[in-house]
Amino acid sequence: MPFAEAAGVTHCESEGTSYTFNAVGCPFPPQQYVGGGLDGLKISSLPDPARTIVFLDAAVSHGYSEKWHIGGKANVCFADGHVVFMDAPGALEGSAYRWAP
């Protein structure tokens, strides 16, 4: 049992909850906050909205999703509006997902 729960505090009360929005690009190394995100762009300008990440559960982008979700997965919302409960989307060249147009 996590320490916070053992102390009578819920995980949400001890850790909070939030999402990471794609305003500056990929939050994962080696491309951490390199710019080129979606800030100020229209969805209609995106070449592949079904693969472009708009926001995701911050737990996965900060490496502590095991505390929130079984298996380390998290919710990821794409520019076309669909959401997937998945492993952290890749930051490496050749990834199936996009952080910038």
Report the share of the chain in percent with pLDDT over 90: 15
Beta strands in 23-63 (DSSP E): 53-57
9 found inside a domain:
no
* The pLDDT of residue 82 is above 50: yes
8 found inside a domain:
no
Tens digits of residue pLDDT in 26-66: 777 666 656 678 888 888 999 999 999 998 887 776 666 56
CA atoms within 13 A on the CB side of 91: 15
Length of the chain: 101
Total domains, the chain: 1
Q: How many Cβ atoms sit within 10 Å of the Cβ of residue 92? A: 10
* Global confidence as pTM: 0.72
Which domain does 37 fall in, by range? 18-101
